[in-house]
A and B are shown apart, each in its own frame.
Chain A
Amino acid sequence: GQQLNQSPQSMFIQEGEDVSMNCTSSSIFNTWLWYKQDPGEGPVLLIALYKAGELTSNGRLTAQFGITRKDSFLNISASIPSDVGIYFCAGRPGEETSGSRLTFGEGTQLTVNP
């Protein structure tokens, strides 16, 4: 099946620093979604991207849909302690013509030191 390579696997940063993480695929994706999961909770949708080259912001978060349709990145600016959690990318493969099946990356564990 489709696989997404998400990196880095974990990050340890100081409060106030900017963060960047990305996902890549060997095949084309039509949709990229970025989720955050706190301990004991379900993933929460942060940003959704639908067009190649699209750049979308949600507060301090910015995500882009790669122009090749095979990658996406998420940036977090001026990190704060509540940014701690696991961030997942998810994509909908290019050959999906019906339904909404998503493929998830392996996640990036973010730790923010106050």
Chain B
Amino acid sequence: SAVISQKPSRDICQRGTSLTIQCQVDSQVTMMFWYRQQPGQSLTLIATANQGSEATYESGFVIDKFPISRPNLTFSTLTVSNMSPEDSSIYLCSSARLAGLQGEQFFGPGTRLTVL
């Protein structure tokens, strides 16, 4: 399994500001994803981070609010823009070595975001 680290592990931010979360994988992986987990809830996929091209966003998530970068096979960032209290969540990065049916996903420890 891949070892995934995220920075920061937690942050408290003011309304209207932006936060960039970093995700680093210890080996080259094909797929990287960003999820949101609101308090007491399940995981919701925000987008698939594509190397060298624009991320693929799920319904309800847009690039202006959640810009994503993936400059190489081991690193990605998610920015939460113009934050509001509703953005308070855990943001999780995940990766899979293979695309398709055999691509087991592994998760980072998450970034716990509180917006005041």
A residues apposed to B, CB below 8 Å: 1, 30-31, 33, 35, 40-45, 48, 50, 88, 90, 92, 96-102, 104-107
Contact = CB atoms under 8 A, between A and B. Distances in A.
B53 interface: no
A83 to B, nearest CB: 19
Contact of A31 (B44, B101, B106): B101
Contacts of A107: 42
A99 B109 contact: no
Nearest to B92: A42
Given A40-B112, A42-B92, A99-B48, A105 B100 contact: no
Contacts of A96: 101
Contacts of A104: 42-44
A98 B99 contact: yes
B48 to A, nearest CB: 6
A67 B59 CA distance: 31
Interface in B86-115: 92, 94, 96, 98-110, 112
A43 B43 contact: yes
Interface residues of B, number: 28
Contact of B106 (A45, A92, A101): A45
A88 B43 contact: yes
Q: Find the residue from A90, A97, A104 having the highest chain B CB count within 10 A.
A: A104
B68 interface: no
B105 A102 contact: yes
B42 A100 contact: no
A97 B48 CA distance: 15
Given A42-B107, A42-B109, A42-B110, A105 B42 contact: yes
A48 to B, nearest CB: 5
B25 interface: no
Contact of B108 (A31, A42, A90, A98): A42
Which of A30, A40, A41, A99 has the most chain B CB atoms inside 10 A of its CB?
A99
18 contacts: A31-B101, A33-B104, A33-B105, A35-B107, A40-B110, A42-B108, A42-B109, A43-B43, A43-B92, A43-B107, A50-B101, A90-B43, A96-B101, A97-B100, A100-B33, A100-B105, A102-B45, A106-B41
